[in-house]
Amino acid sequence: MRQTNDRRVSGDGFSPTAKSRRLGSVHACGPSGASVLFIAAWLAILLLGATVVPAAETRGDALLAFGARIAGDDARSRVVIDFDGKPSFSVHYLAAPERIVIDLPSTAFGFPADDLAPRGLFQDIRYGAMDEGSARIVFTPNRPVKLVNAEVQKNEGHGFRLVLDAEMSTAEAVAELVKTQSWTSAEPTSDPTAGVGASAASPDPATDAVFTIAVDAGHGGIDTGTVGGKSGTPEKEITLAFARDLADRLNREPGVRAFLTRKNDTFLSLSQRVTLARQGAADLFISLHADQLGQKGIRGATVYTLSDTASDRMAAALAARENLSDQLAGYAIENGPPEIADILLDLARRETQAFSISLARRLVNSFNGQIELINNPHRSAGFQVLRAPDIPSILLELGFLSNEEDEKLLLEPGWRSKVADLIAKAVTAYRQQTVVGGG
């Protein structure tokens, strides 16, 4: 007989038959932290490939789950489970507490328990046999979560893999999934993705013609950012006030929709900010900041784009400070293998990065002669919040709170309105000249 490693969990809100076996839980190990970019986790999983299974005696008609991998962060997570045969499966959602249930045919779980230890979006993962003919995996998330993808793929080496992509959601969206799903636990549904939530990153065809901009107010919550030397105003308040003004101004442009990644004094991890932009089907991502420098005489706005090598020491230092945001709230930034980073940076340099640079240049041109700019106002560095591979992204330093003149302007509604107008002008030029069909 095969040696299996079932982590048996009982009902957990279900009503299994008398033949069901109690499934033990894989206890949460605490949040693993925000990764450099969620795609890095996905690529790492794919590069790991499937584990080769040694020949062994089969256990009736049961499938063997011989390998498992989980990766991700507090915004998106991917689970991959390797099977020796092609599994049928169904997806269901439960409320109070929220759980995601994957029903499988008879399955022997033969991978080490640590391979599917909870991390990322999940605080608990349980799996095991329900009766002689079925098995179940139960994911308990640490926040509202939905699956945006659930599919079986052929492994290159051996068997098949079940791929589950989870993404942060809202309590209302999950409640709707629970309400509208078709629960057919006795037999796997013919449509295994029937309970899977559609990815919010896919724009509604009815609104696809709208040019959408995610306006990201830097910092928030426990992460106050820097503090004004004269007024004592924290950066998080300045960026939120300006973000509201900018979104209102952009929304007055025909065919443009702007939304805020945060609407109040809430902490968002860097990965969550990017995910919210993707869920909102953003065509542009603008992150707003107001940093400080040791040299109080330096002032003016700066526009940053993503680069694996910083354009200068100041850009490198600023990126290092901004990237500490997650660690302030207890999230550790994880770096993948060097070859993964190279792949991601190569992706970022393609068309999306060219668009980011185009927007940055138009923004500098719009500011030129109108507001104070730092020397060499377009700079680049490895900002984590700019790493969305599919959304042109810039980080705008509005000014320096270490400079009294900049600090005074940053607190003036009239100055903020003027800068918002100039940004809207740059965005309009970018849209007309860069985006097909822009008008």
Q: Amino acid identity, residue 285?
A: F
pTM of the predicted structure, to 2 decimals: 0.71
Q: Residue 326 has what DSSP assignment?
A: H
311 with 360: CB under 8 angstroms?
A: no
Phi, psi (5° rounding) for residue 70?
Answer: -140, 135
**What are the pLDDT digits (tens) for 99-141?**
999 999 999 999 999 999 999 999 999 999 988 899 999 999 9
Per the structure block, which two tokens stand in for 169?
């959601």
CATH topology of domain 211-434: Aminopeptidase (3.40.630)
Query: What is the predicted pLDDT for the residue at 349?
Result: 55
Least Cα distance to 393 among 244, 204, 216, 252 occurs for 216
pLDDT at 292: 85
**pLDDT: which is higher, 413 or 297:** 413
Domain 25-180: CATH class, spelled out: mainly beta
More confident residue, 191 or 168: 168
Domain with CATH 2.60.40.3500 in the chain: 25-180
CB 327 within 8 A of CB 409: no
Q: Return residue ranges of the chain for CATH 3.40.630.40.
A: 211-434
**Which 3 state secondary structure label does DSSP give 439?**
coil
**pLDDT over threshold 60, residue 236:** yes
Q: Which of 185, 138, 174 is nearest to 12 (CA)?
A: 138
Q: Which two tokens stand for residue 123?
A: 């605080």
Half-sphere exposure (CA, 13 Å, Cβ side) for 71? 20
* Residue 285: both structure tokens together: 């991502």
Q: Residue 338: is it exposed, middle or buried by C-beta count within 10 angstroms (0-12/13-18/19+)? A: exposed
Q: Can you point out the beta strands (E) in 222-318? A: 256-260, 284-289, 301-306
pLDDT higher than threshold 90 for residue 1: no
Q: Give the integer Cα–Cα distance in Å for 277 and 236.
A: 19
Task: Reply yes or no on whether the pLDDT at 56 is more than 60.
Answer: no
d(CA 77, CA 287): 24
d(CA 247, CA 215): 7
Strand partners, 289: 397
- 13: how many CB neighbours lie within 10 A of its CB? 12
Please give the mean pLDDT across all residues of the chain.
79
pLDDT of residue 389: 80
Q: Evaluate whether 316 touches 307 at the Cβ level (below 8 Å).
A: no
Q: How confident is the model at residue 315 (pLDDT cuts 50, 70, 90)?
A: confident
In this predicted structure, which of 52-66, 164-178, 238-252 has the lowest mean pLDDT? Answer: 52-66
> How many whole angstroms separate alpha carbon 68 and alpha carbon 115?
6
Tens of pLDDT, residue by residue over 259-309, are: 999 999 999 988 899 999 999 999 999 999 998 887 888 899 999 999 878
Please say whether the beta carbons of 333 and 384 come within 8 A.
yes
Helix H, strand E, coil C: the string for 112-165 is: CHHHHCCCCCEEEEEEEEEECCEEEEEEEECCCEEEEEEEEEECCCCCEEEEEE
Which of these, 363, 378, 373, 379, lies nearest to 425 by C-alpha position? 363
Kindly tell me if the per-residue pLDDT of 71 is higher than 80. Answer: yes
Bond into 97 cis (ω within 30): yes
pLDDT reported for residue 350: 63
Contact assessment for residue 158 and residue 83, using Cβ atoms and an 8 Å cutoff:
no
What stretch of H or E contains 237? helix 235-250
Rounded to 5, what percent of the chain is helix, strand, coil?
Answer: 30, 25, 45
